[in-house]
Amino acid sequence: MKLVFAGTPEVAVPALDALLASGRHEVAAVVTRPDAPAGRGRRLVASPVAERAEEAGIEVLKPVRPRDPEFLERLKEIGPDCCPVVAYGALLPRTALDIPARGWVNLHFSLLPAWRGAAPVQHAIMAGDEITGAATFLIEEGLDSGPVYGTVTEEIRPTDTSGDLLTRLALAGAGLLAATMDGIEDGTLKAVPQPADGISLAPKVTVEDARVDWRTPALRVDRVVRGCTPAPGAWTTFRGERLKIVQARPVPEVTDLAPGQLSAGKNTVHVGTGSYAVELLWVQAQGKKPMRAADWARGVRIAPGETVGD
């Protein structure tokens, strides 16, 4: 098939690579978000998908909005059979959805209908799920509600951050998307409607969602820290300033600390929760680089009974 691939961040690159390596399909063009300011200088930088496509010598389309007439006209001229999508980042209007004969097929990082929305991996970890996966489905105008072509499953490991899990899902999902394109082309795959039961939503995780509530149990604190790493980053406050929690772990043997109460040893920093304590391993103070929590604690000289999260 002739394909136009839509995607933007680094997590979409493995799927593009898998399609480029396919001997069966032609990636005629790539659709991605416009260049965005990045770094201290706020220079405009192309998306990871745009950079990869340019390396491969593929036409790159960067519409401000997918409904822009110039973009729609160019898409019609290319005439794709199918448009595979991974984390493109913009809503597709009906005028765009109708152009490819076999539609737009999205790779989504959950086992639909669970965790429809922008942040399925973060929500799966924060909810304490043990199994997740990826699914390919035909895009409709509803939110991740279209019929499913295929899935792969992935175990959520006890120490997984959303970054760790998303990296594995991007690789497994790349193979799934390529296989889905093959199955659509040869007619062996039929999209199956999603069940009406088991729907859960995964909206974008906000900075406020990532604030640690020390009154909750240690397992909940651990899930929030892992689910919000690397973005938007779990955080609390210390002496009126924000303190980012880069890495932590539950320590069931420490049970004598009140929620938010700090205890610093020579090489350890513990914080009380609604159950037992968690150990802070890496933190990032406001305006500073990430550092070992024990080094941070020595620098700030934690007073007896001092707390975080006030």
Contact 4, 100 (CB under 8 A): yes
pLDDT surpasses 90 at 41? no
Distances, alpha carbon 7 to alpha carbons 32, 81, 86, 202, 281, in Å: 5, 17, 5, 19, 34
Per-residue confidence (pLDDT) for residue 200, from 0 to 100: 97
Per-residue confidence (pLDDT) for residue 40, from 0 to 100: 78
- Give the integer Cα–Cα distance in Å for 249 and 160: 11
Per-residue confidence (pLDDT) for residue 42, from 0 to 100: 85
Cis peptide before 113 (omega within 30 of 0): yes
- Give the integer Cα–Cα distance in Å for 7 and 19: 13
Strand, helix or coil for residue 235: strand
Contact 130, 156 (CB under 8 A): yes
pLDDT surpasses 90 at 23? no
- Give the integer Cα–Cα distance in Å for 248 and 235: 11
Give the mean pLDDT of the chain.
Answer: 97
- Residue 257: CB partners within 8 Å, gap ≥ 6? 263, 270, 271, 272, 277
Contact 151, 133 (CB under 8 A): yes
* Annotated binding residue 219: no
Q: How confident is the model at residue 310 (pLDDT cuts 50, 70, 90)?
A: confident
* Annotated binding residue 111: yes
- Per-residue pLDDT of 162-188, as tens digits, reads 999 999 999 999 999 999 999 999 999
Q: Residue 181: what are its φ and ψ, rounded to 5°? A: -60, -40
- Give the integer Cα–Cα distance in Å for 258 and 303: 15
To the nearest whole percent, how much of the chain has pLDDT over 90? Answer: 96
Q: Give me 56's structure tokens.
A: 């491969």
Alpha-carbon Rg of the chain, whole angstroms? 22
Per-residue confidence (pLDDT) for residue 188, from 0 to 100: 96
Instruction: Name all domains of the chain by residue range, CATH numbers in brackets.
Output: 2-186 (3.40.50.170), 207-307 (3.10.25.10)
Stretch 86-110: mean pLDDT, rounded?
96
* Annotated binding residue 230: no
pLDDT surpasses 90 at 195? yes
* Annotated binding residue 304: no
